[in-house]
Amino acid sequence: MPAHLSPASNYLGGKFLKYLLFLIPARRNSFRQYFYAFALTMIALLARMAFAPLEGGVQYVTFFPAVALSAVIGGLWPGLFSALIGMVLATYLFWPPYKMFSFDFQQGMLVSNAVFIFDAILVCSSIEAMHRYYHKFVELLDAHKKAEEELRLADQRKDEFLAMLAHELRNPLVPIRNAAHIIGRLGLDEPRIKWAQGVIETQVTHLTRIVDDLLDVSRIVRGKITLKKEDVEFSDLANQVLETARTFVECKGHQIIVNLPTDSVWLDADPVRLSQVLLNLLDNAAKYTPDNGTIWFDASVKGKELEIQVRDNGEGISPDLMNRIFDIFQQGERSADRAKGGLGIGLTLVRQMVEMHGGRVEARSDGPGHGSTFIIWLPVKVTPINRALSPRGT
């Protein structure tokens, strides 16, 4: 079976590696690296002399660690410097005639020195390559952290800009709506004025919903939105939502088929936010369904959850968009005139609001031209017996 290092071994190994990296100065091949190489070689020499009876005539056994550590600390040339000093000392002290140099080289000594130098070059070159890769990795990591921080700041500035933009757009909407309402109260019989007044009110209502969604997205991103939960009977809330939705659904000739639970279903929810979720789904279905289409609004209790489905026979969702359909500012293919309208934030709000209610949401589609289905699951509230058993509407 493969051996696994204990957490303590990993910790000590990591500390040792960090210490070695700490020894590596910014400037390579300086005096300090060569001093470390010389000191390590002297330590290796003392170890070789101390353990001479145990080494069995292997002259260079303690010099290899010194060469490797010198290369780790200083790089290629300090490592080779340690190897050269080690070879000279080993030749002088541990090859006969001992403690003197002779030009009568023995074959074994020549082979051993050649092998030692070759191995030292190989080890030092490998460590030098590791040095280069390590420093390149550090540079890339620093660049990545810098880019990540820049993206975070840009995202923060974007959120602040969206919040400011939404507030600035919202301010003039109230007087525009009031002016249109006053025009309608004047009782003017001019058809063109009535038409203009109706267009203004319709477009102001549409723009108000977009701005409100934009405000809500910025609040959620900054964590400044809270839910005001209360006991909500779902069918009552759904009927109110459907009544509101009929204005923008029926103007395109769509038919809504509704199927609600016959018994009361109670939720612990914020009625305003939950209504906003359902309206966004219905608006999305109406927007991406050709005129005279069909929209199904179904709800049923499945176990401890309420399952809500908003289905249409519209344009559908392409597979490449399915995985990011709930991301902010994401929309399907659209014509150059942007006839569908919207900013691509409605479904983002749906997901965030549903998750804040402890639920989940999912989008399904068989592809373009096959319609789409959005399913929401919300936890059903455990209610008192008298409320749970009472029929809806009593």
Report residue 80: phi and psi, to 5°: -70, -35
CA distance 77 to 259: 81
Split at pLDDT 50, 70, 90, the class of 338 is very low
Cα–Cα distance measured from residue 241 to residue 375, given in angstroms and rounded to the nearest whole number: 17
Cis peptide before 290 (omega within 30 of 0): no
Most confident of 219-223, 333-337, 346-350: 346-350
**Given a cut of 70, is residue 291 above it in pLDDT?**
yes
Summarize pLDDT for 87-102 with one digit per residue, the tens.
Answer: 888 777 766 665 555 5
Residue closest to 278 by CA, chosen among 304, 293, 306, 297: 297
Contact 60, 82 (CB under 8 A): no
The enclosing H or E element of 372 equals strand 372-379
Q: How many CB atoms lie within 10 A of CB 301?
A: 13
**Amino acid present at 10:** N
pLDDT digit string (tens) for 236-280? 999 999 998 888 888 888 999 999 998 999 999 999 889 989 998
Q: Look at residue 314 and tell me whether its pLDDT is greater than 60.
A: yes
Residues 304 and 154: their CA atoms lie apart, in Å, by 42
- 277 neighbors 267 (Cβ within 8 angstroms): no
Q: How confident is the model at residue 154 (pLDDT cuts 50, 70, 90)?
A: confident
Which pTM value belongs to this model?
0.54
Q: Is the pLDDT of residue 390 over 70?
A: no
Beta bridge partners of 259: 298
- The H or E element that residue 259 is part of is strand 255-259
Bridge partners (DSSP) of residue 379 are: 305
**pLDDT of amino acid 126:** 87
pLDDT reading at 329 higher than 70: no
Quickly state the pLDDT bin for 1 (edges 50, 70, 90): very low
Question: What pLDDT is attached to residue 219?
Answer: 73
Q: Which two tokens stand for residue 189?
A: 């019989």
Amino acid 278: pLDDT: 94
Average pLDDT (375-391) is: 69
Res 389: pLDDT: 46
Greater confidence, 195 or 112? Answer: 195
- List the one residue out of 60, 36, 174 whose CA is nearest residue 111: 60
Which one has a higher pLDDT value, 111 or 306? 306
For helices 107-170 and 173-185, angle between their N-to-C axes, nearest 10 degrees: 30
CATH superfamily assigned to domain 230-333+340-389: Histidine kinase-like ATPase, C-terminal domain (3.30.565.10)
Lowest-pLDDT range of 1-15, 165-179, 195-209, 331-345:
331-345
29-36: Cβ within 8 A, 24+ apart:
29/74, 29/75, 29/77, 29/78, 33/70, 33/73, 33/74, 33/75, 33/78, 34/74, 34/78, 34/81, 36/69, 36/70, 36/73, 36/74, 36/78
Tens digits of residue pLDDT in 355-369: 999 999 999 998 888
**How distant, in Å, are the alpha carbons of 243, 247, 270 from that of 263?**
20, 27, 21
Q: Which of 220, 174, 180 is nearest to 200 (CA)?
A: 180
Mean pLDDT of the chain: 79
Annotated domain spans of the chain:
8-147, 230-333+340-389
5-64 pLDDT, tens per residue? 555 555 555 555 555 555 454 445 578 888 888 888 888 888 877 776 555 556 677 888
Angstrom distance (rounded) from CA 243 to CA 52: 97
Helical ranges in the chain per DSSP H: 7-23, 31-50, 63-74, 76-94, 107-170, 173-185, 191-221, 234-250, 271-287, 319-322, 346-356, 385-389
pLDDT, residue 110, reads: 74
